[in-house]
Amino acid sequence: MRTSRATWLAGFAGVSLVAAGALGLPRGLGPAVVVMAPGAFVAVTGFAARVVALESTGRGLVIRYAARRSFFVPWSGCVELRPPRTPLGGWRVSARGGSRTLMPTDVLGHERMLAALVTGSELVFQGGAWRARPASACGGAVSPAA
């Protein structure tokens, strides 16, 4: 399922910083570079790492990017879904094979994908995040108490 057009915001914000820095070139190279360098970084990462699709399959969640390899989160391998801690933060998806951050613009209109991740992975809400159940709650081996 294709993501919102809002995912372009980060890339365009970076381009805007580069343009603002370029306008400041007549005032000196130093101040212009201070604005242009981070702007270029934000532009490149904003366009290349832009989430273009979220797909819920029978086996897990697939996060597809514009110019980087897709990330697959199997239902059985998801260990945590952490909500944003700040208004500019993102949803942190942690699996046994790594983790990724989904910005609010990435899930805009597709919030049900987060619900599918929680449901499919059988996560429980505890300590401010959705987490995998401890092995003992899933019928796994319980270590003896010392």
* CATH for 78: 2.30.29
Single-letter code of the amino acid located at 103:
M
Whether residue 144 lies inside any domain: the answer is no
Mean of per-residue pLDDT scores for the chain: 83
Residues 55 and 123 in one domain: yes
Written in H, E and C, the secondary structure of the chain is CECCHHHHHHHHHHHHHHHHHHHCHHHCHHHHHHHHHHHHHHHHHHHHCCEEEEEECCCEEEEEECCCCCEEEEHHHEEEEECCCCCCCCEEEEECCEEEEECHHHHCCCCHHHHHHHHHCCCEEECCEEECCCHHHHCCCCCCCC
Q: Residues 3-49: pLDDT tens digits? A: 667 666 677 677 787 888 888 788 878 888 888 888 888 887 777 87
What does the pLDDT read at residue 122?
Answer: 94
145 lies in some domain: no
Tell me: do 92 and 35 sit in the same domain: no
User: Do 120 and 68 fall into the same domain?
Assistant: yes
Q: Which are the contacts of 126, defined by CB distance < 8 A and separation ≥ 6?
A: none
Per the structure, the count of domains in the chain is 2
Q: What is the pTM for the complete model shown?
A: 0.72
Q: Judge whether 16 and 39 are in contact, CB under 8 Å.
A: yes
* Average pLDDT of the residues in 120-124: 95
Say whether both 39 and 61 belong to one domain.
no
Task: Grade residue 139 by pLDDT with cuts at 50, 70 and 90.
Answer: very low
Range of the domain at 23: 5-48
One domain for residues 80 and 116: yes
Domain-located, residue 84? yes
